[in-house]
Amino acid sequence: MSTRHRPWDLLVVGGGTAGLVGATAAAPLGARAALVGLRRASTPDGDRPG
C-alpha cells in the first residue's frame, strides 16, 4: 500500500490524557497520528443529557 492511500501511521482511540500523550509522543518520531475521541453532546445551557 502506498503512503498516498495511508494518511496516518498511528491511530489513537481516545482523547483522554493517555491518548493525547500517545499522539504527541509520535510527532517527534515523524509519525502522522490520527486522534479519535468521543464527545457527548451538550444542551444549549451546557448540561449534558443523561
DSSP 1-50: --GGG---SEEEE--SHHHHHHHHHHGGGT--EEEE-------TTSPPP-
- Predicted TM-score of the model (pTM): 0.58
- Render each residue's pLDDT in the chain as its tens digit; 50 residues: 555 677 899 999 988 899 999 999 999 999 999 999 887 666 666 666 55
Q: Which residue type is seen at 20?
A: L
